[in-house]
Structure 1
């Protein structure tokens, strides 16, 4: 009798959401958080297409990678902080604070007059972006039952996929037809609408038993990675290699890294649980995610430079060049779930890593004479490899750990990829700058211009990015300068190919299922992910960093309960 009552109570809890709202309020909240998620997803890809034009307007080619790395860093390390604070103070105030921070960063980014200002304000924007996606999913989990949540998740993942695909196209169109400033300003009306809707419609119960927040871990990690990024980006200037700044950056990276590890060992709820790395699947999978992140963000960041700076294309053309990458990612991720059932996860991951490595090698051979269709085909191939790798890794990592740490292990994969992206973009940016500086003598030899004039042209290489300034450049300098940028981008893409190759090598250290999880559990997870609805849900999980507590899982509680029963 007692067992029956307990089962009935559990069933009642499952059938009731944590936050009970009227139907009208619930759908209003859903619309508001969907709009917020659309903004976050759009921002992840829309700026890339506008970056060459931004560089042409503000200058600071040697700071190009900072605009991406600063945003990625703050958006990544603040995700668990927003999640924990929302457990203490409620979802609504933290969601509104996240949107306010994001919109403040957007407005200031759009008003930037220098690259230093833009980098700073992009970091502010990233602070707010760290709240939008995870808290959107958390609110979704609060106001819907588990059964309803599965259906609603299709809306969220569809919105994420749509925004990711149209982002580059929108960024290019806005830049060409209005101004690059509006790439940031466009967030403001939609963000305000989302904030008003959620602020008025979402009513929550009071919170109890607040969780412990790992502030120290987040702070030491931010300081350590920031010091590393400063060192990597400043290394683009050879005269800085022995400067006090480089020495301080190196020491700070090591010191803060040690403090981060010590903090994580002592933290009750660490931002990066080090104990999970004893699981070989999680450890190797995180390394693979880190390395593939460098390649992924490198392509999104630097391909627009090839289209605009080398080929003389528009911002719209630069944005459309990234569309095959994102379409390949989405399409092959869906196929990858089914492919796992036939060939196994390891073969799927290794095939995807090999495709990525080959496509990056091909990308590193592109120059001023390469036809556009070949770039589009190669980026589609690269995106297909990424889709095969990331979804298969996500499913397998989830299947290799205990249920109680499933969310943490899953978020660790996206965390690793985002940090890898920030570091990889910084390294590729440094290589790009060094390569450009090394072409000064070649340009002078081919143009016969005075050394001072060549120096001026090289430092103003951003003039290549805009058709109007490109047309005013001396004809004898235009060709050699475009060739120099092409060669520099080839070197940057070679670095990307190197990281993709390391990712392929790391894939061979991935354990077999016998070493990590039962084949039954893995098959169950893969079968779930092979359905279109589940795959959409899992796809969004692996395309962004989500609060560990609310990570979508390949194995649902129902299946877990059946195993316990």
Structure 2
């Protein structure tokens, strides 16, 4: 049975279990690695299933203009809780934090499956996100505890396989449930997987913990959550519920910025800040966090709107759209499994920079998708982008973990996961604003021939997503389809811009690995 320590401040960690019988499943640490992979699979499967089922959810519950909230609220609550879990993990241990996160995630999954309206589903997703905030960072932190930098090059292959399996199973189940059963089962399927993960961790992972007293930075949590919630609210509802230049928008954005500025001042004085500002004070840590921010936004942009493009514009089924998106999550783990070997030879930053070449290429291919492109074109763009993300994400995270000691590794890992979740949350809001604004403009200025037959609402796009075009007049259905193409095309163009900007984040990191020292 593998053992690690969770010593608190000033306490010495337990004997190191690294290099204990190799890296594979038959080693002393093998059962723990398998348990971590199962826990990671809990989040991996959910992320691939929900993206495919969004059109079916919109068809059932309505509210196309609100569907970005399904991603934003989940990712926001995940983001703001990640640093808290990281702090607790460094003082209470990894195991209890992981158990709490899985339990809350499963409760949220039950609530999601029972949701009766889009607002109810959004609230349930918030609960689910609070639980997910513990699962992924704790998995990565445990791996950082058990394995050396060299060993993690091999372990990345095992962890990457989880996303590869989820890439195949997730979209397939999402498409099957959406078409033949019910989208609600995409949430209920989490229950048996979560039960197995808890059982494995309880039996196989043991840690000796020196418990320490801690103070929760409630003020920091409130300011961080409130600030980003208002900004996301303004982005998603601006131009839809109220005008961009209206009093509501100006007040919401202004108050959001004020709360975030106040958060910075509070964190400087907090005894145990929820997000210590020192994690952004070194080039390695700052570059890693900024890269995670960009990766999060790119991932959510593609996973949110590629299925919408495939189903709404190309007219594919949910199952086929799921396979198109799966190409991204297949390319990601394949590249991540090789990234470990590569960064040991040429360094963390150069490996990630190679990845950005693929990322930019993939986003350009997505932007070139036309109204009548074969679905294989969409899958190809997703695969290329996935390869780039796989080569960029792993090296930068390992680099950040490598420059700190055990007692700070949980905070650093949590900060990196926070940045990725925040990027996804804000990215979902920004891309949602772009899509909603495009659709609102198209529906407000339709051709004269169909002006009196076209619903004056962004949610008119459900005519396409819901598969009801046969009951509509061809001219109306075609205009809705073209409007939806314009919306997704504008999102893909934004992905290109974001991918190019992401190169600058990586240039903050030192080029040579021997420069990665933390003072």
| TM-score class normalised by the smaller sequence | 0.7 to 0.9
Contact 1:84 1:212 in 2 (8 A): no
More divergent stretch after superposition (236-245 vs 377-386): 236-245
Contact 1:348 1:392 in 2 (8 A): yes
Find out whether 1:13 has 2:15 as its counterpart. yes
Find out whether 1:295 has 2:298 as its counterpart. yes
**1 CA distance for matches of 2:209 and 2:308?**
50
**2 CA distance for matches of 1:141 and 1:190?**
24
Contact 2:82 2:417 in 1 (8 A): no
Structure 1 residue 81, shift from structure 2 partner: 2.6
1:463 equivalent in structure 2: 463
Alignment of 1:94-113 (within 5 A): 95-113=98-116
**2 CA distance for matches of 1:501 and 1:205?**
45
Contact 1:290 1:421 in 2 (8 A): yes
2:485 equivalent in structure 1: 486
When the two structures are aligned, how many residues end up with a matched partner?
A: 497
1:213 equivalent in structure 2: 216
**1 CA distance for matches of 2:421 and 2:292?**
9
Find out whether 1:69 has 2:72 as its counterpart. yes
Please list the CA deviations of residues 24-44 of structure 1 after superposition, one character each: whole Å capped at 9, or x if unmatched: xx9999877654442222112
Structure 1 residue 124, shift from structure 2 partner: 0.8
Q: 1:137 to 1:378 in 2, by over 3 A?
A: closer
Q: 1:116 to 1:473 in 2, by over 3 A?
A: same
Contact 1:264 1:273 in 2 (8 A): yes
More divergent stretch after superposition (166-175 vs 189-198): 189-198
Q: 1:345 to 1:38 in 2, by over 3 A?
A: closer
Alignment of 1:275-354 (within 5 A): 275-340=278-343, 343-354=346-357
Structure 1 residue 518, shift from structure 2 partner: 2.0
- For structure 2, the residue ranges without an aligned partner over 5 or more in a row are 1-11, 19-28
More divergent stretch after superposition (221-230 vs 238-247): 238-247
**2 CA distance for matches of 1:84 and 1:305?**
38
1:23 equivalent in structure 2: none
2:47 equivalent in structure 1: 44
2:262 equivalent in structure 1: 259
Q: 1:408 to 1:35 in 2, by over 3 A?
A: closer
**2 CA distance for matches of 1:63 and 1:512?**
42
Please list the CA deviations of residues 443-473 of structure 1 after superposition, one character each: whole Å capped at 9, or x if unmatched: 433xx2343x312575321121133x23322
**2 CA distance for matches of 1:91 and 1:60?**
39
Find out whether 1:191 has 2:187 as its counterpart. no
**1 CA distance for matches of 2:287 and 2:83?**
22
3-state SS of paired residue (1:455):
coil
**1 CA distance for matches of 2:451 and 2:334?**
52
- Structure having the larger proportion of residues in helix: 1
1:169 equivalent in structure 2: 172
3-state SS of paired residue (2:383):
helix
Contact 1:352 1:388 in 2 (8 A): yes
3-state SS of paired residue (1:209):
coil
Structure 1 residue 92, shift from structure 2 partner: 6.5
Q: 1:146 to 1:341 in 2, by over 3 A?
A: closer
Find out whether 1:409 has 2:412 as its counterpart. yes
Please list the CA deviations of residues 148-173 of structure 1 after superposition, one character each: whole Å capped at 9, or x if unmatched: x9899976664454235532222122
Structure 1 residue 282, shift from structure 2 partner: 2.3
**2 CA distance for matches of 1:335 and 1:203?**
30
**2 CA distance for matches of 1:518 and 1:137?**
23
- For structure 1, the residue ranges without an aligned partner over 5 or more in a row are 1-9, 17-25, 523-559, 561-565
Q: 1:387 to 1:374 in 2, by over 3 A?
A: same
Structure 2 length as normaliser, TM-score?
0.83
3-state SS of paired residue (1:383):
helix
1:125 equivalent in structure 2: 128
Report the structure number with the largest CA radius of gyration: 1
2:7 equivalent in structure 1: none
Contact 2:355 2:392 in 1 (8 A): yes
**1 CA distance for matches of 2:301 and 2:39?**
26
Alignment of 1:224-263 (within 5 A): 224-237=227-240, 239-263=242-266
Q: 1:503 to 1:460 in 2, by over 3 A?
A: same
Structure 1 length as normaliser, TM-score?
0.77
1:7 equivalent in structure 2: none
Q: 1:371 aligns with which of 362, 369, 374?
A: 374
2:25 equivalent in structure 1: none
More divergent stretch after superposition (203-212 vs 103-112): 203-212
3-state SS of paired residue (1:241):
coil
Structure 1 residue 277, shift from structure 2 partner: 2.6
CA RMSD of aligned residues (A): 3.7
**2 CA distance for matches of 1:462 and 1:495?**
23
**2 CA distance for matches of 1:50 and 1:271?**
34
Structure 1 residue 55, shift from structure 2 partner: 1.1
Please list the CA deviations of residues 200-232 of structure 1 after superposition, one character each: whole Å capped at 9, or x if unmatched: 998988863233333332332111111110111
Q: 1:409 to 1:207 in 2, by over 3 A?
A: closer
**2 CA distance for matches of 1:146 and 1:518?**
16
More divergent stretch after superposition (220-229 vs 327-336): 327-336
Structure 1 residue 436, shift from structure 2 partner: 0.8
Structure 1 residue 233, shift from structure 2 partner: 0.7
3-state SS of paired residue (1:269):
coil
